[in-house]
């Protein structure tokens, strides 16, 4: 390797952004095309600094918008390089058109999405609106709950995305500010371990291979469009999950840290379970432990892989549970909530007759406190005791004014 290696301590105190930037350095990204936006800016800034300081052999492309950033990534990936970028919120929204191009062209780009609210009103803080916006785009989506996850999942994302049987782009999500700007201890890999895990980039149908000319970005009308889309969906439904599980297993061998498609915390014998994503998973774990000390059999189910959605794994995990709360950190704007709908779908044809209630919380970075979660678990226990959902099916947590509920 023609670049300098960096000596890291076993545990570094990093925020989620710097952890992601370090992972991009260790994966030796060939091209980052980026248009920085709060709160994801330090990720691409970090990569640019590593590049300038000769810790990476690569190229930083400054562009005029997020649409151009992802377009640049698509071009570089089609040419045959290891490619990554980062964005948030409005930037993610502007990228949307090109996200579908990237996945449809089967280009293994890794996009770090530092989750942030969508305007209007303008807000720079963390919620899951942008993450939800991406969920039909054909990308693989991993969700980090803390800076350690943001670091680890980047390696796993490259490993899965670049697999020749997968060849799909992947997003690594972390909560804006709550993870991206929160410094915590991160167990590091050495540069050799990190790079060794993802390995050298193996191009496929790369445009710079002049011996084997290929066409990218074609037009197909009713004759072939459906077949392409069906094949992409088929691969997400059948090929990706085993590859992710393999990457999780390999990563555990390397680091001792085990990730799962769905993270079960005290779920196996639980009566009441909260299903959520992001930093809320960890806060809920702490509260679940405290509820157990009070005699309520509480658990937490964290969704680690949002796409492909681990439908069967969730149905299996929740089969013995009596009452479930789904926590959506994005306004459903006229529906029940993504997690409510997905979890209902997972359980509908099973024998699990759990009582399901949905909650909308934390929009624009509004704090989810431990006290909120204590109330929530008590409400679930009351549902169990009554044998029915005693509240409206959709409630809002932490919003000012009269209590909001629907359905």
Partner 1 sequence: MLEIRWHSRAGQGAVTGAKGLADVISTTGKHVQAFAFYGSAKRGAAMTAYNRVDDKMIMNHEKYMKPDYVFVIDPALVFTSDVTINHKDNTVYIITTHMTTDELKAAQPKLADKNVYTVDCITIAQETIGRPIPNTPMLGAFMKVSKMYDIEFFKESMQRILGKLPQKIIDANMIAIQRAYDEVK
- Least separation in angstroms between CB 289 and partner 1: 9
Give buried/exposed letters for 155-169 (b at 16+ CB in 10 A, else e). Answer: bbbbbbbbbeebbbb
- Is 183 a residue that touches partner 1 (CB under 8 A)? yes
Give the span between the Cα atoms of 75 and 254, in whole angstroms: 32
- Closest by CA position to 365, among listed 173, 144, 39, 125: 125
124 versus 389: smaller Cβ distance to partner 1: 124
For residue 363, CA distances in Å to 171, 177, 326, 359 come to 21, 13, 15, 12
13 contributes a contact to partner 1 by CB under 8 A: yes
Does residue 370 bind partner 1 (CB under 8 A)?
yes
Report in angstroms how near the CB of residue 68 gets to partner 1 at its nearest: 25
Using CB under 8 A as the binding rule, whether residue 279 contacts partner 1 is answered as yes
Q: Which range binds partner 1 by CB under 8 A, 45-53, 76-84, 246-254, 367-375?
A: 367-375
Q: How far is the CB of 26 from partner 1 (least distance, A)?
A: 20
| C-beta closer to partner 1: residue 26 or 280 | 280
Minimal distance, residue 209 CB to partner 1, in Å? 42
Question: Among all chains, which residue has been given the structure tokens 């693989």?
Answer: 140
Comparing CB distances to partner 1, the nearer of 154 and 283 is: 283
Of 108 and 126, nearer to partner 1 (C-beta) is 126
- Smaller CB separation from partner 1, 15 or 162: 15
Binding-site member from 143, 263, 271, 282 for partner 1 (CB under 8 A): 282
Smallest distance, partner 1 to C-beta of residue 131, A: 16
Contacting partner 1 (CB under 8 A), which of 367, 385, 387, 403? 367
Backbone angles phi, psi at 65, to 5 degrees: -170, 170
In sequence order, what DSSP letters do the residues of 13-71 get, joined into one string? EE-HHHHHHHHHHHHT-SEEEE---TTTHHHHHHHHHHHHTTS---EEEE-SSHHHHHH
Asked if 231 touches partner 1 (CB under 8 A), the answer is: no
List 63, 79, 124, 344, residue binding partner 1 (CB under 8 A): 124
Helix (H) / strand (E) containing 157:
helix 147-161
58 versus 278: smaller Cβ distance to partner 1: 278
Site string for partner 1, 73-112 (x = CB under 8 A): ----------------------------------------
Q: Which is nearer to partner 1, 72 or 126 (CB)?
A: 126
Out of 70, 336, 356, 368, the only residue in the binding site for partner 1 (CB under 8 A) is 368
Where are any strands of DSSP class E within 221-304?
A: 262-265, 272-276, 298-303
Contacts of 67 (CB under 8 A, 6+ apart): 94, 95, 97, 98
Whole-number Å distance between alpha carbons of 144 and 86:
14
Nearer to partner 1, 308 or 364 (CB): 364
8-state DSSP, 173: E
Read out DSSP for 349-400?
TSS---EEEEEEE-GGG----HHHHHHHHHHHHHHHHHTS--S-SEEEES-S
232 binds partner 1 (CB under 8 A): no
Alpha helices in 256-348 (DSSP H): 279-293, 311-317, 338-348
Which member of 3, 184, 341, 405 binds partner 1 (CB under 8 A)? 184
Exactly one of 286, 312, 385, 392 binds partner 1 (CB under 8 A); which one?
Answer: 286
Instruction: Return d(Cα 398, Cα 407) in angstroms, integer.
Output: 18
Q: Which stretch binds partner 1 (CB under 8 A): 69-77, 78-86, 281-289, 386-394?
A: 281-289
Region class of 259: left (phi > 0), else alpha (psi between -120 and 50), else beta = beta
Alpha-carbon gap, residue 38 to 47, rounded angstroms:
16
Total number of residues binding partner 1 (CB under 8 A)?
26
Give dist(CA 179, CA 125) in Å, integer.
11
Nearer to partner 1, 350 or 369 (CB): 369
Binder among 73, 76, 114, 178 for partner 1 (CB under 8 A): 178
DSSP 8-state assignment for residue 196? H
- State the Cα angle at 257 between 312 and 340, rounded to 5°: 30
Could you tell me the maximum CA-CA distance found in the chain, to the nearest angstrom? 70
Q: How far is the CB of 288 from partner 1 (least distance, A)?
A: 10
List contacts with partner 1 (CB under 8 A).
9, 11, 13, 15, 124-125, 146, 175, 177-178, 181-185, 279-280, 282-283, 285-286, 367-371
């Amino acid at each position: 390797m023609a670049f300098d290696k960096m000596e890291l301590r076993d545990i570094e105190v990093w925020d989620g952004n710097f952890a992601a930037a370090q992972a991009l350095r260790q994966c030796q990204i060939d091209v980052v095309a980026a248009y920085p936006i709060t709160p994801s800016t330090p990720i691409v800034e970090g990569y640019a600094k590593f590049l300038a300081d000769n810790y990476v052999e690569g190229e930083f492309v400054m562009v005029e918008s997020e649409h151009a950033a992802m377009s640049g990534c698509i071009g570089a990936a089609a040419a045959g390089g290891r490619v990554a970028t980062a964005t948030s919120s409005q930037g993610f929204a502007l990228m949307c058109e090109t996200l579908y191009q990237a996945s449809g062209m089967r280009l293994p780009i890794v996009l770090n999405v530092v989750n942030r609210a969508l305007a209007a009103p303008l807000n720079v803080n963390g919620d899951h609106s942008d993450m939800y916006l991406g969920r039909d785009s054909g990308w693989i989506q991993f969700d980090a709950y803390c800076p350690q996850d943001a670091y680890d999942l980047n390696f796993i994302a490259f490993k899965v995305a670049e697999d020749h049987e997968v060849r799909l782009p992947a997003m690594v999500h972390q909560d804006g500010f709550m993870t991206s700007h929160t410094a915590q201890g991160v167990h590091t890999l050495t540069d050799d371990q990190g790079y060794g895990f993802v390995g050298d980039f193996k191009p496929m149908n790369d445009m710079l291979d002049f011996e084997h000319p290929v066409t990218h970005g074609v037009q197909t009308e009713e004759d072939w469009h459906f077949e392409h889309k069906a094949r992409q969906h088929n691969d997400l439904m059948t090929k990706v999950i085993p590859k992710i599980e393999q990457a999780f297993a390999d990563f555990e061998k390397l680091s001792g840290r085990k990730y799962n498609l769905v993270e079960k915390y005290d779920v196996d014998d639980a009566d009441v379970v909260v299903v959520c994503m992001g930093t809320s998973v960890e806060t809920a774990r702490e509260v679940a432990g405290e509820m157990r000390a009070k005699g309520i059999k509480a658990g937490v189910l964290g969704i680690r892989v949002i796409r492909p959605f681990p439908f069967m794994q969730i149905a299996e995990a929740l089969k013995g549970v009596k009452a479930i709360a789904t926590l959506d950190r994005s306004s459903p704007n006229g529906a029940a909530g993504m997690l409510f709908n997905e979890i209902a779908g997972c359980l509908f044809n099973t024998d699990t007759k759990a009582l399901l209630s949905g909650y909308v919380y934390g929009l624009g970075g509004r704090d989810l406190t431990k006290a909120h979660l204590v109330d929530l678990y008590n409400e679930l226990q009351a549902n169990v005791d009554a044998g029915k959902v005693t509240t409206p099916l959709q409630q809002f947590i932490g919003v000012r004014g009269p209590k909001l509920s629907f359905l």
